[in-house]
Amino acid sequence: MSDEPHVLFEKRGAVGLITLNRPKALNALTHGMCLQMTMQLRAWAAQDDVKVVVVQGSGERAFCAGGDIRSLYESGVNKTPYALNFYRDEYVLNALIKHYPKPYVALINGIVMGGGVGVSVHGSHRVANETTTFAMPETGIGLFPDVGGSYFLPRMDGQIGMYLALTGARLKTVDTLYSGVATHFVPMKDWPALIADLAAGKGVDHVVGRKSDDLPAGFLADHRASIDKIFAHNSVEEILSALDADHTDWSRDTAKTIRSKSPTATKLAFRQVREGAKLDFDDCMKMEWRMVNRVVAGHDFYEGVRATIIDKDGTPKWKPADLSEVSNADIDAYFAPLNNKELVL
């Protein structure tokens, strides 16, 4: 096992530089990484010589592929407090980034999913390069698109956020810019110069530039009309019926994808996106904390992780196994107050 720290901190001129440093694990977040980042960000917020924070991932494959799902699985199976401690402190970190008093620049190289989205998309500047790949695939492991997905997904144009929440679709660079996941594009070869310019005290907006207005059309633009029409329906079942009636390769593939996910998680994600549209950021995080407490105490998350990364058989046995078996009352229970265990931000 490497003794290398899982997250590195460096002051480089005017920059506070964070490097997620688990390249073999695609820089997946651990509880300790969340705590260390929170402590360092709070310290830098109070230091006048730190003008901007930059966060990057080590290695060439990923910015951050999410939380360390295997550790969360093992915690739940063994009934330890690690999983809920992780989620609580991860959400606190997400809120700190959202409200950070200084520019926060995420350099999104390669894969960014789940927990990696939470430590990038809430920053003031999200810089994509030609390798960026985004997804929120949580419903495929019996979870829901958390880390503030309740807030940023419904605030995407049209019904893009609902489409992403229910399908876990992967977006390449052009579509991360189209959807607003990324705010800027800078080729990877220019990133060292970008960091050097920020370290020298040059203004963030000047250094990162502006995303091009003449981007080529991507997948989302090509399917935008259908996404906005179909995913505006009032339930998962209505969305699936509309997809079935569309009779295109895209609609057939999309319906098949949604039906492969956890029925409970799919209905949770639908409710989450609709509710999050009406809430401010902190209330979204408090809602997600209520939800994740119930997910950790349930079945589908562990079954989804088992089928995906433990046994890798790709055949999760969801309970309930069909959308028709998941009632509104079942979903309501995930959103119920936790009394003295509510999230404190």
Active-site positions? 67, 115, 138, 146
CA-derived radius of gyration, the chain = 20
**What's the rounded Cα separation, in Å, for the pair 231 and 165?**
11
**What's the rounded Cα separation, in Å, for the pair 186 and 126?**
10
Q: Determine how β-strand 104-108 pairs with β-strand 15-20.
A: unpaired
Q: What is the Cα 36 distance to its own chain's centre?
A: 19
In the chain, the largest separation of any two C-alpha atoms, in whole Å, equals: 59
Lookup: tokens for 125: 């500047």
User: DSSP state, 171?
Assistant: B
Phi/psi of residue 128, nearest 5 degrees: -90, 160
3-class secondary structure, 144: coil
**What's the rounded Cα separation, in Å, for the pair 127 and 212?**
12
Decide: 61 and 24 in contact? Cβ < 8 Å.
Answer: no
**CA-wise closest residue to 316 among 261, 267, 259:** 261
**CA-wise closest residue to 262 among 305, 306, 320:** 320
Residue 54 bridge partners (DSSP) = 17, 105
Decide: 18 and 7 in contact? Cβ < 8 Å.
Answer: yes
Decide: 116 and 62 in contact? Cβ < 8 Å.
Answer: yes
Element (H, E) at 83: helix 82-98
SS (H, E, C) 291-315: HHHHHHCCCHHHHHHHHHHHCCCCC
Q: Determine what percent of the chain falls in helix, strand and coil, rounding each to the nearest 5.
A: 50, 10, 35
Lookup: tokens for 266: 């799919």
